[in-house]
Protein backbone atom coordinates (compact mmCIF):
# COMPACT_ATOMS: atom_id res chain seq x y z
CA UNK A 1 0.00 0.00 0.00
CA UNK A 2 1.35 3.33 -0.91
CA UNK A 3 1.23 6.51 1.05
CA UNK A 4 -1.13 7.93 -1.54
CA UNK A 5 -3.70 5.25 -0.78
CA UNK A 6 -3.98 6.47 2.83
CA UNK A 7 -5.09 9.86 1.53
CA UNK A 8 -8.04 8.15 -0.18
CA UNK A 9 -9.16 6.52 3.07
CA UNK A 10 -11.49 9.20 4.44
CA UNK A 11 -15.13 10.11 4.67
CA UNK A 12 -17.62 7.36 3.87
CA UNK A 13 -14.88 5.00 2.67
CA UNK A 14 -13.19 5.31 6.08
CA UNK A 15 -16.53 4.66 7.83
CA UNK A 16 -17.07 1.53 5.74
CA UNK A 17 -13.53 0.32 6.44
CA UNK A 18 -13.87 0.92 10.20
CA UNK A 19 -17.18 -0.97 10.23
CA UNK A 20 -15.63 -4.00 8.48
CA UNK A 21 -12.65 -4.04 10.86
CA UNK A 22 -14.81 -3.56 13.95
CA UNK A 23 -17.19 -6.33 12.86
CA UNK A 24 -14.30 -8.81 12.56
CA UNK A 25 -16.20 -11.18 10.29
CA UNK A 26 -17.26 -11.13 6.64
CA UNK A 27 -19.81 -8.45 5.76
CA UNK A 28 -21.88 -7.82 2.67
CA UNK A 29 -23.04 -4.59 1.06
CA UNK A 30 -26.45 -4.68 2.80
CA UNK A 31 -24.85 -5.01 6.24
CA UNK A 32 -22.55 -2.08 5.46
CA UNK A 33 -25.44 -0.05 4.07
CA UNK A 34 -27.43 -0.45 7.31
CA UNK A 35 -24.48 0.06 9.67
CA UNK A 36 -23.05 3.14 7.94
CA UNK A 37 -26.51 4.46 6.98
CA UNK A 38 -25.91 4.60 3.25
CA UNK A 39 -28.65 5.17 0.67
CA UNK A 40 -28.36 1.82 -1.15
CA UNK A 41 -26.38 -1.43 -1.28
CA UNK A 42 -24.77 -0.27 -4.53
CA UNK A 43 -23.20 2.72 -2.72
CA UNK A 44 -21.88 0.34 -0.05
CA UNK A 45 -20.62 -2.01 -2.75
CA UNK A 46 -18.75 0.83 -4.46
CA UNK A 47 -16.92 1.70 -1.22
CA UNK A 48 -16.20 -1.97 -0.46
CA UNK A 49 -14.80 -2.41 -3.96
CA UNK A 50 -12.64 0.70 -3.53
CA UNK A 51 -11.26 -0.70 -0.28
CA UNK A 52 -10.56 -4.03 -2.00
CA UNK A 53 -8.74 -2.21 -4.83
CA UNK A 54 -6.64 -0.34 -2.24
CA UNK A 55 -5.71 -3.68 -0.64
CA UNK A 56 -7.49 -3.19 2.71
CA UNK A 57 -10.26 -5.75 2.15
CA UNK A 58 -10.57 -9.07 0.40
CA UNK A 59 -13.68 -10.76 -0.93
CA UNK A 60 -14.48 -14.34 0.03
CA UNK A 61 -16.21 -16.98 -2.13
CA UNK A 62 -19.64 -15.76 -0.95
CA UNK A 63 -19.06 -12.19 -2.12
CA UNK A 64 -18.57 -10.88 1.41
CA UNK A 65 -15.67 -8.70 2.49
CA UNK A 66 -13.21 -9.12 5.34
CA UNK A 67 -10.37 -6.90 6.48
CA UNK A 68 -7.13 -7.99 4.85
CA UNK A 69 -4.85 -5.51 6.60
CA UNK A 70 -5.11 -2.64 9.01
CA UNK A 71 -4.57 0.76 7.48
CA UNK A 72 -1.95 3.08 8.91
CA UNK A 73 -3.85 6.30 9.46
CA UNK A 74 -1.84 9.34 10.41
CA UNK A 75 -2.45 10.38 14.01
CA UNK A 76 -4.18 7.14 15.02
CA UNK A 77 -3.15 3.79 16.45
CA UNK A 78 -4.97 0.46 16.47
CA UNK A 79 -5.90 -1.06 19.83
CA UNK A 80 -7.46 -4.38 18.97
CA UNK A 81 -10.21 -3.57 16.49
CA UNK A 82 -10.51 0.04 17.62
CA UNK A 83 -8.81 3.06 16.15
CA UNK A 84 -7.84 5.62 18.79
CA UNK A 85 -6.03 8.95 18.54
CA UNK A 86 -2.30 8.71 19.28
CA UNK A 87 -2.69 11.61 21.69
CA UNK A 88 -4.59 9.31 24.03
CA UNK A 89 -1.45 7.18 24.46
CA UNK A 90 0.25 10.23 25.90
CA UNK A 91 -2.81 10.94 28.04
CA UNK A 92 -2.54 7.47 29.57
CA UNK A 93 1.19 7.97 30.14
CA UNK A 94 0.64 11.26 31.98
CA UNK A 95 -2.23 9.74 33.94
CA UNK A 96 0.10 6.97 35.13
CA UNK A 97 2.77 9.54 36.05
CA UNK A 98 0.19 11.61 37.94
CA UNK A 99 -0.96 8.55 39.89
CA UNK A 100 2.64 7.70 40.84
CA UNK A 101 3.29 11.31 41.87
CA UNK A 102 0.13 11.31 44.00
CA UNK A 103 1.19 8.06 45.65
CA UNK A 104 4.67 9.43 46.39
CA UNK A 105 3.19 12.62 47.83
CA UNK A 106 0.79 10.71 50.08
CA UNK A 107 3.53 8.38 51.35
CA UNK A 108 6.04 11.19 51.98
CA UNK A 109 3.64 13.95 53.05
CA UNK A 110 4.00 13.54 56.83
CA UNK A 111 7.81 13.32 56.65
CA UNK A 112 8.79 16.00 54.14
CA UNK A 113 9.44 19.70 54.37
CA UNK A 114 7.07 22.44 53.30
CA UNK A 115 9.26 23.22 50.26
CA UNK A 116 9.15 19.60 49.10
CA UNK A 117 5.38 19.55 49.38
CA UNK A 118 5.02 22.77 47.38
CA UNK A 119 7.50 21.56 44.74
CA UNK A 120 5.70 18.24 44.41
CA UNK A 121 2.28 19.89 44.16
CA UNK A 122 3.67 22.14 41.42
CA UNK A 123 5.06 19.07 39.64
CA UNK A 124 1.65 17.39 39.87
CA UNK A 125 -0.01 20.53 38.53
CA UNK A 126 2.29 20.49 35.48
CA UNK A 127 1.65 16.77 34.93
CA UNK A 128 -2.11 17.35 35.28
CA UNK A 129 -1.91 20.16 32.73
CA UNK A 130 -0.08 17.90 30.26
CA UNK A 131 -2.68 15.18 30.88
CA UNK A 132 -5.44 17.69 30.14
CA UNK A 133 -3.81 18.99 26.95
CA UNK A 134 -3.27 15.52 25.47
CA UNK A 135 -6.76 14.37 26.47
CA UNK A 136 -8.40 17.40 24.85
CA UNK A 137 -6.29 17.00 21.69
CA UNK A 138 -7.26 13.33 21.51
CA UNK A 139 -10.94 14.20 21.91
CA UNK A 140 -10.71 16.87 19.21
CA UNK A 141 -8.91 14.45 16.89
CA UNK A 142 -11.58 11.82 17.52
CA UNK A 143 -14.31 14.40 16.85
CA UNK A 144 -12.66 15.29 13.51
CA UNK A 145 -12.62 11.58 12.59
CA UNK A 146 -16.33 11.33 13.46
CA UNK A 147 -16.97 14.45 11.37
CA UNK A 148 -15.18 12.94 8.37
CA UNK A 149 -17.39 9.86 8.60
CA UNK A 150 -20.52 11.84 7.79
CA UNK A 151 -19.19 13.34 4.56
Summarize pLDDT for 115-134 with one digit per residue, the tens: 988 999 999 999 999 999 99
Indicate whether 41 belongs to any domain: yes
Q: Using one digit for the tens of pLDDT, what is the confidence trace for 61-105?
A: 888 899 888 888 888 888 888 888 889 999 999 999 999 999 998
Indicate whether 73 belongs to any domain: no
Indicate whether 54 belongs to any domain: yes
- Nearest one of 72, 73, 23 to 48, comparing CA atoms: 23
- Residues 147 and 81: their CA atoms lie apart, in Å, by 20
Q: For residue 57, give its domain range.
A: 3-67
On whether both 58 and 89 belong to a single domain, the answer is no
3-state secondary structure of 83: strand
Amino acid sequence: MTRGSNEELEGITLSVYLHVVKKGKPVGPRDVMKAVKLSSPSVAYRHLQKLEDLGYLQKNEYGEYIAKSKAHLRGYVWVGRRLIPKMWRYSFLFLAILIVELYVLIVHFPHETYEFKIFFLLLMLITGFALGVFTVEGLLQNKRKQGNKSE
